[in-house]
Amino acid sequence: MQPTLLILAAGMASRYGSLKQIQQFGPSGETIVDYSIYDAIRAGFGKIVFIIRKDFEKEFKEIFEPKLKGRVATDYVYQEMGAYLNGYPMPADRSKPWGTAHAVLCAKDAIKEPFAVINADDFYGRDSFEKAAAFLKNDAKPDVYSVIGYQLSKTISEHGSVSRGVCAADSHSNLAAINERTKVYKDGDQIVYEDADGSKHAMSPDTPVSMNFWGFHPSVFDLSQNLFKDFLQKDGDKPKSEFFIPIVVDHFIKNKLGVVNVIPTAAQWFGVTYKEDAPGVQESLSALVKSGEYPDNLWK
C-alpha cells in the first residue's frame, strides 16, 4: 500500500494573481510545491491529489502535468462552495471557501487509502515526508492519526510575527491539544508569543508546532462530513467562518475517538509569510541544492 499526498492548493490563484506567476525559488524555476512533490515521491507516496478550484483547472494542469507525467499518479478535486452542504442554503454574502477541513472533505471520493495533507506553499523538508510515509504505511488506523511536529525555532520569520499552532502532547507523545498563538516572534535572544493585552510569554525553541502536515486514515472523511453539518448549523451564516482541520482533530481527541501521534522532526520549515522572506527561501533552497539534498533541476 502506497499512501497518497493531498495538497491544499485551492487558494493559490488568489494569492499569486495568476498561476503562471507562481513564485519560482529553485535554480531551474521550481516552486515550493515542486519540492514537496519531489520529497513525497522519493519517500514512497504513490499518488498526488491536488485540491484546486475549477476556475483555474486548465492553467494548473498545464503547469504540473508535464512535470509529473510518468513519475507519479495524479488526481484533481475541486473545493466548490456548494460541496457537502446537503441542503443547507448557500449564504448570499458568502465569498470565501469553507476552510481547510472542508477542502479535505472534498477529496472524499478520490482517496481510499491513508493519506497526508499539506499546504501548497510551505516547504516541509525530506525528513518530514519520510516520517509521514512510514506512519501512513505502518500505523495509520481509524483511531490513529498523526501530525508532524516542527521545532518552533525552525518555523520563525525574521521579518515579523507569525501564527503557530502549539502542540501539547501527553506522556505517550499523543496530541492533547493545539493552542493557537497568533503573534509569535523573536524578541532579542528569545522567542515569545504576545497576548491580546500585549503581555509577552517566552517559548522554548524546541516547542513542537503544527505546520498543517497531517496524517489521516480515510475514516476522517465520514467524521469530517458529520462535523461539517454541525458547523453549518452553528456558524454557516457567518460570512468569514471557516471549518478548519484542527476543529476535526480536536473533536476526535476530546471525544476519545482515537489518538493523534505527534511525530517530531528537526527539518527546517520555510515559507513566504512576508514578501521579505522570499530571498531567504531562495537562499535556503540554493544551499540544499549545493549540499546535494536536491538536484539543480528536479524534473530533468
Q: What string of DSSP letters covers 64-98?
A: HHHHHTTTSEEEEEE--TTTT-TTPPPPTT--S--
Amino acid at 273: T
Question: CA 92 to CA 239: how far, in whole Å?
Answer: 9
Q: What pTM was estimated for this model as a whole?
A: 0.93
Contact 151/211 with Cβ under 8 angstroms? no
Question: CA 71 to CA 37: how far, in whole Å?
Answer: 10
Closest CA to 41 of 4, 14, 1: 4
**HSE (side-chain half, CA atoms, 13 Å) at 81:** 14
Q: How many CB atoms lie within 10 A of CB 35?
A: 22
Q: How many CB atoms lie within 10 A of CB 43?
A: 21
Bridge partner residues of 115 (DSSP): 4, 216
The torsion of the CA quartet 57, 61, 62, 67, rounded to 10 degrees, works out to 160
pLDDT digits (tens, 9 = 90+) for 29-73: 999 999 999 999 999 999 999 999 888 899 899 989 999 999 999
Give, in degrees to the nearest 5, the angle at Cα 240 between 195 and 278. Answer: 65
Cell of 17: 494573481
Question: CA 129 to CA 79: how far, in whole Å?
Answer: 24
Give the phi and the psi of residue 186 in degrees, each rounded to 5: -80, 135
Contact 217/144 with Cβ under 8 angstroms? yes
pLDDT at position 16, please?
Answer: 63
Give kind and range of the element (H or E) at residue 227. Answer: helix 220-235
Question: CA 235 to CA 238: how far, in whole Å?
Answer: 6
Give the phi and the psi of residue 156 in degrees, each rounded to 5: -95, 140
| Residue in the block written with cell 490563484 | 13
pLDDT digits (tens, 9 = 90+) for 82-126: 999 988 998 888 888 899 999 999 999 999 999 999 999 899 999
Contact 220/104 with Cβ under 8 angstroms? yes
The tens place of each residue's pLDDT in the chain, 300 residues long, gives: 899 999 999 877 666 666 666 788 999 999 999 999 999 999 999 999 999 988 889 989 998 999 999 999 999 999 988 999 988 998 888 888 899 999 999 999 999 999 999 999 899 999 999 999 999 999 999 999 999 999 999 999 888 899 999 999 999 999 999 988 989 999 999 999 999 899 999 999 999 999 999 999 999 999 999 999 999 999 999 988 999 999 999 999 999 999 999 999 999 999 887 788 888 999 999 999 999 999 999 999
